[in-house]
Structures are given as C-alpha cells and as structure tokens.
Chain A
Amino acid sequence: MFPPSTRCPGAHVLASTLATVATAARVDGCGLILVANGTPHAIGGSDPDGRLLERAQVAIGSGPAFRCMVSGGAVPVRDLPACYPHGHPELAPSAGRVRAVLSVPVLIGRVVTGSLDLYDLEPHDWPPARLTAGAELAEVIGSVLNLLAGTSEPVSSPISGVPR
C-alpha cells in the first residue's frame, strides 16, 4: 500500500468524515455515539460543540441519541432547552451552544450500532427532507465504520492510508 511516510491514523479518516457529513447535511456540526458491549461511547464530533454534546449525553445517560438508539428511528429535537418532547431540558445545560438536534440511528447490517447526531446552533424544526438526508448520511457513516473495522490494527495507532 502507501509507503511508511504517508501513514495516518484511521481515526483521522472518521474525524474527516464527520466534518464532511456536516457539510453535506448543511448543519453546523455533528457528533457520533457508538455502543460497545452494551455501553455507549462518546466517539466525538466534527468540532468541539459536537464532542461536548456527545460527552454530555453519555455522562447523564439521556438525550435524543439515547431515544434514537432505543427506538431505532430518527429523533428530531427543535430546541434542547424546550420542554420534552420538543427539547431535552435536562441535557441543555451541559450541551453548550447546541440547540436543534437530529439523531439518526447508525446501523451495521440490521443492528443499531450507534447514533449520528446532526445539530445547529439555532433552534428550528427538521422537515422530512432533512430527516431523509440524515438517514442516508447515517448509512454512509455505517459504511465507513464497517470498512475501518476491517483493519487488524487499532485505529488509535498509526496505520497506512491516504495522506490527508
């Protein structure tokens, strides 16, 4: 494959993918939570806001990502500080600047493996077309994870790949 001088961590590929997904979805950012051994892990986000949102949800064990992973369906939230079900007031104080959130399930095969959380810093509704786009992008994230899972090396250590 590529010579040693062009090695890069596989995690960088996912970080870059999340940033590209945010651009494609035309949102301010996105984050990812994945489940391993029944435990949710805040993987991170396209920016610090995304990382904070995912860490907050995992820390308090609540939020649109959890509803999404339990139901297996998309969960649109108009404004986090608003009352449930339009918001998640218990999460809002820990979620920084994030206001509108759309959580869509990430599936590998037919198994819900996590939640892709698209968000904006202004409150708004999520029309059906954006729910469709979110679902398609969650499928792309699933494909990237499936490909990355094929490596025998941990993604946190340098492995060969395309220089970014």
Chain B
Amino acid sequence: MHLDPEALDASLRMLRHTPREPDLRRALAKVVTAVNRLFACDGAGLMFADAGGALRYVTATDECGRSLELAQAELNEGPCVDAYVHDRLVACGDVTCDTRWPALTRVVQPEVRAVLGAPVRLSGTPVGCLNLHSARPRRWEDSDLLGLPAYAELIEEIISAALAAEHTGTLARQLERALHDRAVIERAIGFLMADRGLDAKEAFDHLRRQARNSRRRIVHIAAELLGEPLPLPQRPSAS
C-alpha cells in the first residue's frame, strides 16, 4: 500500500464537517454516468442481485437501458444475466438477432442493439452487472472490452468504501446479503454441475425454478441441496 493513513485521516476528519451526506446510490449512479460519457455508447446501466439471487434493475442513464434491464430481470436471460451467472464479460453485437436469448429478442426495444456486460464483484464473488448499450449493431472494440471491467471494479471500490465505513443504507445491506447468499448459491451450482452434468446457467435456472415452484428463496433451495443450515431471515429495512 503506497498510502499515508495518518494524512488520509486528517483529510477525512475535515470532510466529516462538510454538509454533503454520503450516499451510496448516488455514488454508484456517478460511475454509471461516467461510463456513459466515456465510452462510445448510447447508454449505461447497473444491475444487482436481490435477496433471491436474481438480477434486478438499479440504475440506468436512459429509458432504453432501463427497459433492457427490466426485461432481463423479468425473463432471467440476456447478456447481463449471463455476465453475472458466468462471472465473465459478455459482448453482443446485435441483441435483436442473438440466438442465445430468444425471449429477450422478442421484447427488447428497437433502440437497443449492441450490449456489453461486465460482472461486478465483491471479494471475487459476482453480485451484479455493469452494462453499455448502443442503438446500432456494432462490434465492440478492444478499448471497450478492456475498459468496462475497470469501471466495474470502480463500482466494487465504491461498495467497499460504503461497507468499510459501515453505511447501513438499504442498498448496502442488500449487497452484503447478496454477497453472502451468492457464495451458497455458487456452491450449489458447482454441486449440480458435478452431480447432474449441467452447465452453470442450467444449474442456476434449476435452482431458480425450484425456488419459484416452492415460493422460497434460491439461497434456501441451495442450502437445502448442500445440507447446510438455512440462512437467517433478512433484517427489517430501516430506510
């Protein structure tokens, strides 16, 4: 670490007297806005896993991006879902004719064509997806493929800062919970892949289907499959 903690302390003590309230959601939106401005794209957005392990809309720079995220959350398929489930960068040149996501191609708005999704991780575990979209079909360039993951890491730094400072907002608690739950779900996915020969997406879909059919959370299904104690109920939200 090439930092002087005492000098940082002195500066942060001064910042504590500024009237500006720390706000995790606003800080995250700032990164998404920066991504939209810095990359050659028509919009950017951010999704995080909810308590059930499914991706949910958090923020987007435009209505098309919002509809893209909501559609993926509803259908549980798309480039952002794959980036999150497979924990890797997913590039799509034209989502309207991509056979990987047949249901999404039928509902996506015509203004959304190319999509690029990078997993957002906490402690190495995927908890969400940062994404770009373009109104025209395109081949994503190396600068996009290398650059977006760096901004996904900045999202992680901001969440880490919020958790390090023990911010207790709803979103921080949700992410903390998602991180814990995802670890259990990952183990269950690994078990299903080894035991039943499924790939990661099939295993995740199996858990999700079981959860829907029994009206329980995915993490409960995963824990039961692994023979582990069920996670405690989530604390009631204060905000």
Contacts and interface: CB of A to CB of B under 8 A. Distances in A.
Given A13-B157, A148-B164, A155-B8, A45 B2 contact: yes
Interface string A49-64: 0110000000000000
Interface stretch (B30-38, B63-71, B131-139, B221-229): B30-38
Interface stretch (B12-20, B47-55, B188-196, B206-214): B12-20
B4 A149 contact: no
A151 B3 contact: no
Which of the four size classes fits the interface of chain B?
35 or more
Give the interface SS of chain B, mostly helix, strand, loop or mixed: helix
Given A41-B10, A147-B165, A154-B9, 4 more contacts: A2-B176, A20-B157, A139-B34, A149-B16
A35 B7 CA distance: 10
Contacts of A14: 3, 8, 161
A15 B160 CA distance: 12
B11 A162 contact: no
A50 B4 CA distance: 12
Contacts of A125: none
B6 interface: yes
A65 B8 CA distance: 17
B163 A1 contact: yes
Nearest to A146: B22
Interface in A8-37: 8-18, 20-21, 23-24, 26, 34-37
A5 B13 CA distance: 27
B160 to A, nearest CB: 5
Contacts of B3: 11, 14-15, 18, 43-45, 51
A127 interface: no
Interface stretch (B79-87, B95-103, B146-154): B146-154
A10 B123 contact: no
Interface of A: 1-2, 8-18, 20-21, 23-24, 26, 34-37, 41-48, 50-51, 108-109, 111, 113-114, 129, 132-133, 136-137, 139-140, 143-151, 154-156, 159-164
A143 B159 CA distance: 11
A41 B7 contact: yes
A36 B11 contact: yes
A109 B154 contact: no
18 contacts: A1-B163, A2-B163, A10-B165, A16-B157, A34-B8, A43-B8, A45-B2, A108-B20, A137-B34, A139-B34, A143-B161, A146-B18, A147-B22, A147-B24, A154-B5, A154-B9, A155-B8, A162-B179
Contacts of A9: 5
Contacts of A11: 1, 3, 5, 8
Contacts of B20: 108-109, 146
Interface of B: 1-16, 18-20, 22, 24, 26-27, 30-31, 33-34, 37-38, 122-123, 147, 150-151, 153-154, 157-167, 176, 179
B58 to A, nearest CB: 15
A155 B27 contact: no
Contacts of B11: 34-36, 41, 43, 113-114, 145
Contacts of B37: 132, 136
Contacts of B34: 136-137, 139-140
Contacts of B167: 147, 150
A20 B147 CA distance: 11
A162 B164 contact: yes
A148 B162 CA distance: 7
